[in-house]
Every structure is written in structure tokens, then in C-alpha cells.
């Protein structure tokens, strides 16, 4: 990633221009060719710097009012195997192994679920609980009550 | 939000082309006009139904870092602490959650070493402890929710 890539990131991190030729608009803003913008963005997509180009919906506003971060206390020795199984469930959007903070926070496996109703979300939690069985020594569901910020990554100018 | 808005949201969660006239290409696939697609996207963004439309960058692939962090915020200080935390450009997302650890935010930084300094700054400015929970392993990320 060089200075021009950085400029492209800065020019697009708040959003892609909503004009017929958005990459040309970015190119004009930066004083480089459209071809160069497109080639560099393709290269950044191939290297994974750009995860994807697309739309990020507000979960609440498209009907998913129950967004739960489910957290589980499982044996560290089994977590990779269990994490892979939880991640394979069709409704889990993110799944991670994260550190505990004892004694306050004993949970090491995190899985996000999203329901249009509380029942729908709780059913998903129940499926994870059943899958983990006795391997889950404890769990909690932390529902989000408000989106305080959702801007995505920003690099400074 | 009507059926066409839903089709646009669902389709555009999957990706967007890099070519001279990408909106025209998507509009043709959806069987609508390019101008209509652009107007609909403007409205979906203005109404907050879409938080964003554009490239999603991966902090770690850029040489930076990502972490999830949480704070136990006293109820009467919630607004004040929200303002302090959200003012950091490195805070990409922030959610209120129903737990003693009631504020959960994602830090995305361009350089790896910035995570520790941003956390130290947040602790200093809020006077509260930040529980840092960087991922140890990622098992899955990326399910798209159907509108």
C-alpha cells in the first residue's frame, strides 16, 4: 500500500460517489486516471485490503431488532473445534475466540446472532447451546440496545 | 422500504463491480434504470437504512489492527462517555449492550501500535477501565442479512 492507495482509501472510506461513473469521480478528485483508480482498487480487493465493495445495512432498519452477542465459556483446549462448529451454523454472522478477563469476564467464545423477533434470536441461542452441550460451562446473550456509532474504518488525512 | 429497495439492499450486500459504469451494470441486472438505482441508494443512505455504501476496508490487511473492547459505564455518565469514545476516528462501531459491560466498540487502526495508545487515551479521558478483547482466532465473519 503506497501513498496513492492511501489517497484512494481516504477518498472512498465514507462511501463511493453516487454518480454514473464513480471511479472517474474519485480519479478527478485525486488528479489521476480512472484506469489507475480501478486497477488499484482491483489490486486492493485481490490482496484483501478491500474486503468487498457493497452496501452495509443498518440491522435494525431492515427488521433485525434483536442483535445478540452470545458469549460462551468453553474449555480453551476445545475451543477451535467448537468454534468451527458454531461458525458453521447458518445464522451466525461472526464467530471469534477472544481472551477472558477473570474474574469479571469468563467468556472466550463469541458468536453474533440476529433475529427479527426475540423468539427468533432466542431459538438461535438455544441451537448454539444444544450444539455446545456440556462443553458450555456458562453463557450470556448481550443484546445491543442502541447503535452508538457505525462508520467503519477511517484513516486520518 | 419496498420490494425493490429490498432487492437492491440484498443484491448490493454481495458486492459491486469495478468498471467504468458500475451502477448501470447493476441497474440492468435488477431490471431498473440507472437513475432510479442512484436515487434509491441516496434515499436508503439518507434514511439510515444503509449505514454505508462503498468499499469496506480490512484494517489487518492494511497493516493495521482491529480489536473489540468494552467499558462498564455508570448509567448517569453514558452520554458523556459515548461522546468521548465516538470522537476517536479509530472507533469504527460502538454499541450499547444490556450488561454491566454496557458499551462495546470496535477499534480499527491503520498501524498496529495505535490500538494500545487509543485504549490508553480512552481510559485517561473517561477515567474508566477498557477491557480489550482482541481476537485470538476468527472462525467466521461475513453472513449477510436479508432485508
- A38 and A67 both lie in a single domain: no
B147 pLDDT band (50/70/90 cuts)?
confident
| Residue B3 touches partner A, C-beta closer than 8 Å | no
DSSP classification of residue B113: T
pLDDT tens digits for range B117-145: 999 999 999 999 999 999 999 998 877 78
- B39 and B74 both lie in a single domain: no
The predicted model gives A47-57 an average pLDDT of: 94
A154 pLDDT band (50/70/90 cuts)?
confident
Q: Which residues of B touch A144 (CB under 8 A)?
A: 95-97, 104
- B28, part of any domain: yes
A157 pLDDT band (50/70/90 cuts)?
low
Using CB atoms, pick whichever of B42, B57, B135 lies closest to residue A153. B57
- A154, part of any domain: no
Determine the structural domain holding residue B41 and report its residue range.
Answer: 3-46
A4 contacts: CB under 8 Å, gap ≥ 6: A30, A32, A36, A40
- B146, part of any domain: no
Hey, are the CB atoms on A20 and B143 less than 8 Å from each other? no
- B70 and B124 both lie in a single domain: yes
Task: Give CA angle at A101 (B60, A137), nearest 5°.
Answer: 105
Determine the residue among B139, B141, B145 to mutate to test chain A binding: the one whose Cβ has the most chain A Cβ atoms within 10 Å: B139
- DSSP, collapsed to helix, strand or coil, labels residue B9 as helix
- B53, part of any domain: no
Using CB atoms, pick whichever of A12, A59, A145 lies closest to residue B145. A59
Look at residue B56 and tell me whether its pLDDT is greater than 80. yes
B121 contacts: CB under 8 Å, gap ≥ 6: B88
Determine the structural domain holding residue A137 and report its residue range.
Answer: 60-143
- B124, part of any domain: yes
Hey, are the CB atoms on A54 and B63 less than 8 Å from each other? no
pLDDT tens digits for range A123-138: 999 999 999 999 999 9
Q: What is the dihedral of CA A22, A93, B8, B31, to 10 degrees?
A: 100
- B34 and B78 both lie in a single domain: no
**CATH (domain of B87):** 3.30.70.3460
CA B137 – CA B139 distance, rounded (Å): 6
Using CB atoms, pick whichever of A9, A20, A92 lies closest to residue B21. A20
- B56, part of any domain: no
Which pLDDT does position B140 carry in this prediction? Answer: 83
- A94, part of any domain: yes
- B51, part of any domain: no
How many domains in chain A? 2
Look at residue B103 and tell me whether its pLDDT is greater than 80. yes
pLDDT tens digits for range A83-110: 999 999 999 999 999 999 999 999 999 9
- A38 and A65 both lie in a single domain: no
Which pLDDT does position A132 carry in this prediction? Answer: 98
**CATH (domain of A9):** 1.10.10
How many domains in chain B? 2
**Confidence (pTM):** 0.90
pLDDT tens digits for range B57-87: 998 898 899 999 999 999 999 999 999 999 9
- Per DSSP (E only), the strands in chain B are 50-57, 65-71, 91-97, 103-109, 130-133, 137-141
- B71 and B129 both lie in a single domain: yes
| Residue B121 touches partner A, C-beta closer than 8 Å | no
Chain A nearest CA to B70, separation (Å): 11
| Residue A43 touches partner B, C-beta closer than 8 Å | no
Using CB atoms, pick whichever of B49, B97, B147 lies closest to residue A142. B97
- A117, part of any domain: yes
pLDDT tens digits for range B25-53: 999 999 999 999 999 999 999 999 999 99
- A153, part of any domain: no
Weakest mean pLDDT among A9-13, A19-23, B141-145: B141-145
Half-sphere exposure of B46 (CA within 13 A, CB side): 7
Hey, are the CB atoms on A145 and B68 less than 8 Å from each other? no
- Please report, for residues A36, A45, A69, B19, B27, the alpha-carbon distance to residue B23 in angstroms, rounded to integers and kept in the order given: 19, 18, 35, 9, 6
- B70 and B41 both lie in a single domain: no
DSSP classification of residue A134: G
- B72 and B129 both lie in a single domain: yes
Determine the residue among A36, A57, A61, A145 to mutate to test chain B binding: the one whose Cβ has the most chain B Cβ atoms within 10 Å: A57
- A68 and A137 both lie in a single domain: yes
Cross-strand partners of A142? A69
Amino acid at each position: 500500500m503506497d501513498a496513492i492507495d492511501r489517497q484512494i482509501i481516504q477518498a472512498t472510506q465514507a462511501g463511493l460517489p453516487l454518480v454514473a461513473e464513480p471511479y472517474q469521480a474519485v480519479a478527478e478528485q485525486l488528479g489521476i486516471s480512472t484506469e489507475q483508480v480501478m486497477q488499484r482498487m482491483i489490486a486492493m480487493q485481490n490482496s484483501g485490503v478491500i474486503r468487498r465493495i457493497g452496501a452495509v445495512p443498518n440491522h435494525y432498519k431492515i427488521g433485525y431488532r434483536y442483535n445478540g452477542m452470545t458469549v460462551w465459556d468453553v474449555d480453551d483446549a476445545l475451543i477451535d473445534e467448537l468454534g468451527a462448529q458454531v461458525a458453521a451454523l447458518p445464522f451466525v454472522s461472526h464467530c471469534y475466540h477472544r481472551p477472558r478477563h477473570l474474574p469479571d469476564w469468563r467468556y472466550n467464545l463469541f458468536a453474533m446472532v440476529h433475529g427479527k423477533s426475540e423468539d427468533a434470536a432466542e431459538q438461535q441461542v438455544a441451537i448454539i447451546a444444544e450444539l455446545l452441550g456440556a462443553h458450555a460451562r456458562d453463557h450470556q446473550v448481550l443484546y445491543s440496545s442502541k447503535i452508538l456509532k457505525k462508520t467503519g474504518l477511517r484513516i486520518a488525512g | 422500504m419496498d420490494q425493490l429497495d429490498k432487492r437492491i439492499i440484498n443484491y448490493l450486500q454481495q458486492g459491486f463491480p469495478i468498471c467504468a459504469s458500475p451502477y448501470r451494470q447493476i441497474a440492468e441486472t435488477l431490471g431498473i434504470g440507472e437513475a432510479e438505482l442512484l436515487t434509491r441508494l441516496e434515499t436508503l443512505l439518507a434514511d439510515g437504512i444503509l449505514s454505508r455504501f462503498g468499499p469496506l476496508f480490512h484494517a489487518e490487511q492494511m497493516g493495521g489492527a482491529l480489536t473489540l473492547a468494552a467499558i462498564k459505564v455508570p448509567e448517569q455518565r453514558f452520554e458523556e462517555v459515548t461522546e468521548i469514545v465516538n470522537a476517536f476516528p479509530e472507533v469504527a462501531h460502538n454499541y450499547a449492550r444490556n450488561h454491566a459491560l454496557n458499551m462495546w466498540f470496535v477499534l480499527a487502526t491503520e498501524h498496529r501500535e495505535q490500538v494500545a495508545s487509543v485504549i490508553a487515551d480512552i481510559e485517561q479521558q473517561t477515567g474508566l477501565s477498557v477491557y480489550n478483547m482482541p481476537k485470538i482466532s476468527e472462525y467466521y465473519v461475513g453472513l449477510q442479512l436479508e432485508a
